[in-house]
Amino acid sequence: MAATYKDAGVDLDVYAESMSRLPRLMHRTFSPRVIPSDGGFAGLFRLDFDGKLFARNYSDPVLVSGTDGVGTKLKIAQQTSRHQTVGIDLVAMCVNDLLCTGAEPLFFLDYVAMGKDDPARLEKIVQGISDGCVLADTALLGGETAIMPDMYGTEDYDLAGFAVGVVERKKLINGSLISDGDVVLGIASSGLHSNGFSLVRKVIGDAGLQWDDQPSDLNGLSLADACLEPTAIYTKAIRSVQTHYQVKQVIHGLAHITGGGLEENIDRILPKNVDARIEVGSWEIPKIFQWLQNTGEVADAEMRRVFNMGIGLCVIVSDFYASSIQSQIERAGFACQPIGNIVPGSGKVKYSDQ
């Protein structure tokens, strides 16, 4: 009997159905800078606009790129059959990194690898990616869906994302302007975001709990609800500040708080002559972190190193502008408060209780 691709686990007719569901999810994210190329081998994007009204008129543009995934948070989505939001996480993990350079996100690409083709499930995943791109104000320019039986279980999938942005060289944010007296503003996270889920799953597994359980400390949320809350995307917050201060470089540093927590991520942008002193208790720690720490008996130092602890993005600014910038961010819809300040030191984060 002649062998076929379908016999090997890949049905090209089902794959064609999957692909037919995706163009609308891409098109809703397009800006006038996208050059339509449906059916082409690559996506096309103009760096500038036509016409005087929208033209950027770059003088020395720098392209910024980043890639990331969602990690083992995907296991929770797969175990609960809740696939609609992990695509937002995917976009957020890439775009929030771009924002830390001062870049404007331009376009996004996704890679979805599945053990078995499932058009409905793929559509839910890409719906989330499309939603994330709308929140990030970036175009979902293209992607790749790979069906790989034997590499993945039939219910398994993995995601990778790739983002590209642009910034004028003179507007690059790299931490070099951070100086003694600056204020560290913390923009609230939406929860766990997309880091530390191997520890999250261990704590929940060791406690013998299920994803639909509703611990009293979580105010009626199930564990799945709390853990699958999508990562916040901070494009609107940072763009609102950049739009308000188009001449002055008021943002001295930006840190996306992912794995490694506040300490390791702020460390990455600090000059070697200053420290960031973080005031413990200056922001409210979301209940999911408190519940995980109490349930798993996790030490403070481990919690701070693994999780964002309620702060998703840190903005380091001059003390003179701190109050105004905080107001700009809050008007964009994000909770924001001072959580520390910059002091003389050696390029490290120090907590006030240490």
HSE at residue 220, side-chain half, CA atoms within 13 A, is 0
pLDDT of residue 168: 96
What are the tens digits of pLDDT across the range 95-137?
Answer: 999 999 999 999 999 999 999 999 999 999 999 999 999 999 9
What is the residue type of 232? A
pLDDT of residue 56: 86
CATH of 12-42+58-171, one of 3.40.50.300, 3.30.1330.10, 1.10.10.10, 3.40.30.10: 3.30.1330.10
pTM across the whole model? 0.96
pLDDT of residue 353: 86
HSE at residue 111, side-chain half, CA atoms within 13 A, is 10
What are the tens digits of pLDDT across the range 218-265?
Answer: 989 999 999 999 999 999 999 999 999 988 999 999 999 999 999 999
What is the residue type of 124? K
CB count, 10 Å around CB of 197?
19
Angle in degrees, 0-180, between the axes of helices 119-136 and 86-99, rounded to the nearest 10: 30
pLDDT of residue 247: 87
| 183-351: CATH class | alpha beta
Q: Where are the domains of the chain?
A: 12-42+58-171, 183-351
HSE at residue 341, side-chain half, CA atoms within 13 A, is 9
Task: List the chain residues with pLDDT less than 50.
Answer: none
CB count, 10 Å around CB of 178?
23
